[in-house]
Chain A
Amino acid sequence: MLNFVVRRLLGMLPVLLAASLLTFLIASLLPGDLALVILGDQATPENVAALRRDMGLDQPLWWRYLSWLGHVLQGDLGRSFRTGQTVLQAVAERIPVSLQLMLMAEFIGLLIGVPVAIACAARAGSAFDRFMTGSAFAMLSMPSFLVAILLIYLFAVELHWLPATGYVPFTEEPLANLRFFVLPALTLALAEWPGIMRVLRSDMIATLQEDYIALAKAKGLKPARILFVHALKPSSLTLVTVTGINIGRLLGGTLIVESIFALPGIGRLLVGAIYTRDLVILQGVVLLVACGFVLVNFIVDMLYAVLDPRIRHGHA
């Protein structure tokens, strides 16, 4: 197992390096001069040239990349030229919001997706199965901004059950905090459960045709026990992958959802950075997100190994 962990960790290094290079290039090759952005449109050419020199923008690209990477490795991702905040400060302030949103969304997604998948698999081909599979398709094709607005109008404007926008930290008012997260998390979850459901449903249908299930049935075990105890775990391998990938995808979803529900998370930070051309924040946040994604993938790999021993021994 240790061997496996070390192998995977080493495998992450080139990925992280590539991510850092791409992040740097995206921000550096965007049209527009960073010095001009900082100094504004009324800057004199001399001012711009001086700032470019100060910031090393007159150096070749490879030199700038290495110097930036050097700083990053020492934990210095730079400072927003707009607010003066360091990237790490800005991200540290915002990350709890996005993590809470993603975890709640994934949780709600699983809460809807897993039982529906099991129910569908148990009665594959039935009217219920066809209806739920169809609904899943319909939900997948609904853009999240539309879902968000519909939920807001129903639950906030018409029924007054939940707030339309806003946020309080969990540490201040736990209940109010959860209320603020219900609609945004539900918006994301409604796009999540179809994927979860479809993957688990088809895996489970396959599992239910295995010999040992037939044996379990023959032994007279209750259908619920067969489904939850004997069939669920072996069918959930793909689900773990999908859940892992979803976390990355969810981060994309937060860009829209955090803006609509006015949640002060990473997504909003990123949108704001793009809008105001705060390239330092943009670069830093994208890099951190890429690292987060790589980390999630690593965790998924580890979970795989736990779920299916064949993987850590290199047989699969």
Chain B
Amino acid sequence: MTKIAAAARKHAPIFLVAAFAVLPPAEPAQAQKSGGSITVGQELDIAGFDPLKVGVYDTSTFTAAAAIFDTLTTLNEKGEAAPKLAVSWTHSEDYKSWTFKLREGVKFHDGTPFNAQAFKENFDRQKDPANKCRCAFYITNIKEVLAPDEYTVVYNLTDPSVNLPATITIQSQNNVVHSPTAWKTKGDDYNRNPVGTGPYILKSWTAGDRMVLEKNPNYWDKGRPYLDRIILKPLPDAQSRFASLQSGEADIIWDDEADADNITRAQKDPKLTVHTYKGSGAAVYAFNTKVAPFDDVRVRQALVMALDRPKMSQAISNGLSRPATNPYGDGSWVKCKDDGALPFDVEKAKALIKDYGKPVEFKMLVTATPRGRMVGQVLQQFWKRVGANMEIEQVDQATIPSRAFPRQFQMTPWRIVDLADPDPQMYANFRSGSPLALAGYSNPELDKLLDHARVTPDLGERTEDYCAISRLINKEAIWFWTFQNTYYALSSAKLKGFPKIYNGVIDVSTTWLE
């Protein structure tokens, strides 16, 4: 995942991010072998696991969290919620209350029993205003979590959620379950000494160097995990990370489209396997429709029609980036016959700008990274061609959300992350009055569709709603999409059982060595 994406994920308007961590692994025809050890090359240093300390997990932390912790639910092959720490669930008629039955006899690595009380304490700790956790933002849609008996957990929500069990599958700071005994006894040290119920136990961790995880012999899912040991290493430089894979020091590495040459090279190398996943969501951009020149729909449409996405893909990622015409992407269950995408049409764009009659000049925020700059420059060229002058304003990654939320921008990059359901992000990004509706656009028709989609259990009807939403947004051009989310991991061909990289999480807890 790119740094832009990492930042966008951190700040993405989602309350509960979901992924499709598939268990059991996607290669059932092969026999799993036990034993052995693998090294995973990651992009970033892990800061820690205590949500009160780190706030929001990044991609590297996700990978470690997938091994150390469990979540209540996971997703099956079809992308539907499946049992993990919860074995079954039911919902109220209005989808504002969900009841989960928990798996019995599960213990945390430190021997603490896993039960409804432990789960509730995890939630309460994040929600407690006194703890001032950044993680609390992502669970604002959950009013409370109750533990009526030892193995029952009840979620009471502020808004209906038809797909809650699927949206809580990702190994995020909010969803993984920590041992209450551990954080209470370890205090400040808990951040770097995490205790979960997951398939691997943290053995040692040298800052900036390596994290060693060893097999949990008492894991509730008998027979798993297969590997005895997993070593996670931060290898920040993309070139040397790939070299480590080639020379055998790493068995699997994280990668992204910015490193297109190495992905292509790995595809041609029989000793390596390229794992890729076409996720849902996309890299997106929001116009501030409250300020000139974007208060005029002609200008917005012209800029969108001036985009030559295939050419842009070639420029930034050797053609690996997949053009997006809606916010859902190939990985989503929302498939539209007609998403209302505006065509690439330079002449029409020029005509619209001419029709507008005033000079089109504006500033666009881009992240001060090589990728951010390059994207900005490519867009600048497209728009110059149709008579619009864009000035690039480079800012720090963390500055983008703090400029976006108070609407101190004309155009800003954003991202819709890979989720099991479009509702949380679409509702937050486009419903009138939402603090995250960055375009400042309001339309009763759009609101009606968003409201209907979130309380309708029927997938066919929901698909129709979301496609209508896409048509409306595309027509009004309040946001635009450039590329769909695609995730990559490169591994030795001997590593088997690697699941899909849902939401960029490299979950090695299901893999084995051939």
Name B7's closest neighbour in chain A (CB-CB).
A41
Q: A12-20, A129-137, A259-267, A298-306: which one contacts chain B?
A: A259-267
- A42 & B134 in contact (Cβ 8 Å cutoff): yes
Which of A32, A153, A269 is B398 in contact with, Cβ under 8 Å? Answer: A32
Instruction: Tell me the complex Cα distance, A165–B192, Å.
Output: 24
- A32 & B399 in contact (Cβ 8 Å cutoff): yes
- B243 & A93 in contact (Cβ 8 Å cutoff): no
Given known A-B contacts A31-B399, A153-B243, A166-B244, A90 and B209 have beta carbons under 8 A apart: no
Question: Smallest distance from the beta carbon of B335 to chain A beta carbons, Å?
Answer: 33
Q: Determine the chain A residues whose CB is within 8 A of the CB of B249 once the complex forms.
A: 156, 163-166
- A152 & B191 in contact (Cβ 8 Å cutoff): no
A94 an interface residue at 8 Å Cβ cutoff?
Answer: yes
B389 an interface residue at 8 Å Cβ cutoff?
Answer: no
Number of A-B contacts (CB under 8 A): 116
A268 an interface residue at 8 Å Cβ cutoff?
Answer: yes
B264 an interface residue at 8 Å Cβ cutoff?
Answer: no
A43 an interface residue at 8 Å Cβ cutoff?
Answer: yes
- A148 & B240 in contact (Cβ 8 Å cutoff): yes
Q: Determine the chain B residues whose CB is within 8 A of the CB of A47 once the complex forms.
A: 132
Q: Determine the chain A residues whose CB is within 8 A of the CB of B55 once the complex forms.
A: 40
Given known A-B contacts A83-B191, A165-B240, A167-B209, A156 and B247 have beta carbons under 8 A apart: yes
A64 an interface residue at 8 Å Cβ cutoff?
Answer: no
Interface residues, chain A, with chain B CB atoms under 8 Å away: 31-32, 36-37, 39-43, 47, 51, 82-85, 90, 93-94, 148-149, 152-153, 156-157, 160, 163-167, 259-262, 264-265, 268-269, 271-272, 276-277
- B47 & A165 in contact (Cβ 8 Å cutoff): no
* 28 contacting pairs across A/B (C-beta < 8 A): A31-B399, A32-B396, A32-B398, A32-B402, A39-B134, A41-B401, A41-B405, A42-B134, A42-B136, A43-B132, A47-B132, A51-B132, A82-B47, A149-B243, A152-B240, A156-B244, A156-B247, A163-B244, A163-B249, A164-B244, A260-B237, A262-B233, A262-B244, A264-B206, A264-B207, A264-B208, A268-B208, A271-B236
Q: Determine the chain B residues whose CB is within 8 A of the CB of A269 once the complex forms.
A: 208
Q: Determine the chain B residues whose CB is within 8 A of the CB of A165 once the complex forms.
A: 41, 233, 235, 240-241, 243-244, 249-250
- B191 & A84 in contact (Cβ 8 Å cutoff): yes
B344 an interface residue at 8 Å Cβ cutoff?
Answer: no
B53 an interface residue at 8 Å Cβ cutoff?
Answer: yes
Question: Smallest distance from the beta carbon of B5 to chain A beta carbons, Å?
Answer: 15
Which of B47, B136, B208, B247 is A157 in contact with, Cβ under 8 Å? Answer: B247
**Residues of B45-59 whose CB lies within 8 A of A:** 45, 47-48, 53-56
Instruction: Tell me the complex Cα distance, A261–B237, Å.
Output: 8
Q: Determine the chain A residues whose CB is within 8 A of the CB of B405 once the complex forms.
A: 41
Question: Smallest distance from the beta carbon of B259 to chain A beta carbons, Å?
Answer: 13
- B208 & A37 in contact (Cβ 8 Å cutoff): no
Instruction: Tell me the complex Cα distance, A259–B239, Å.
Output: 11
Instruction: Tell me the complex Cα distance, A37–B191, Å.
Output: 18
Which of B137, B208, B243 is A156 in contact with, Cβ under 8 Å? Answer: B243
Which of A84, A157, A164 is B48 in contact with, Cβ under 8 Å? Answer: A84
- B132 & A262 in contact (Cβ 8 Å cutoff): no
Q: Determine the chain A residues whose CB is within 8 A of the CB of B402 once the complex forms.
A: 32, 36, 41
B234 an interface residue at 8 Å Cβ cutoff?
Answer: yes
B188 an interface residue at 8 Å Cβ cutoff?
Answer: yes
B246 an interface residue at 8 Å Cβ cutoff?
Answer: yes
- A164 & B247 in contact (Cβ 8 Å cutoff): yes
- A40 & B239 in contact (Cβ 8 Å cutoff): no
Instruction: Tell me the complex Cα distance, A152–B238, Å.
Output: 13
A-contact bits for B156-190, CB 8 A (1 contact / 0 none) = 00000000000000000000000000000000100
Interface SS of chain B: mixed
- B237 & A272 in contact (Cβ 8 Å cutoff): no
Q: Determine the chain A residues whose CB is within 8 A of the CB of B247 once the complex forms.
A: 156-157, 160, 163-164
Given known A-B contacts A43-B134, A82-B54, A83-B48, A260 and B240 have beta carbons under 8 A apart: yes
> 9 smallest A-B Cβ distances: which pairs?
A264-B208, A40-B134, A42-B137, A41-B401, A264-B209, A164-B243, A260-B237, A156-B247, A262-B235
B11 an interface residue at 8 Å Cβ cutoff?
Answer: yes
Question: Smallest distance from the beta carbon of B363 to chain A beta carbons, Å?
Answer: 16
**Residues of B6-63 whose CB lies within 8 A of A:** 11, 41, 45, 47-48, 53-56
Name B58's closest neighbour in chain A (CB-CB).
A276
Instruction: Tell me the complex Cα distance, A163–B243, Å.
Output: 9
Q: A82-B48, A166-B249, A264-B207 are in contact. List 19 more A-B contacts (CB 8 A).
A: A32-B396, A41-B11, A41-B134, A42-B136, A83-B191, A83-B207, A94-B207, A148-B240, A152-B239, A152-B240, A156-B243, A156-B249, A163-B244, A164-B243, A165-B41, A260-B237, A262-B244, A264-B208, A264-B209
Question: Smallest distance from the beta carbon of A183 to chain B beta carbons, Å?
Answer: 10
- Which of A32, A84, A271, A276: most chain B CB closer than 10 A? A84
Q: Determine the chain B residues whose CB is within 8 A of the CB of A156 once the complex forms.
A: 243-244, 246-247, 249
Name A265's closest neighbour in chain B (CB-CB).
B208
Name A93's closest neighbour in chain B (CB-CB).
B207
Q: Determine the chain A residues whose CB is within 8 A of the CB of B235 once the complex forms.
A: 165, 262
Instruction: Tell me the complex Cα distance, A43–B132, Å.
Output: 8
Question: Smallest distance from the beta carbon of A273 to chain B beta carbons, Å?
Answer: 10
Name B190's closest neighbour in chain A (CB-CB).
A84
Which of B192, B236, B240 is A164 in contact with, Cβ under 8 Å? Answer: B240
Question: Smallest distance from the beta carbon of A123 to chain B beta carbons, Å?
Answer: 39
Question: Smallest distance from the beta carbon of A181 to chain B beta carbons, Å?
Answer: 14
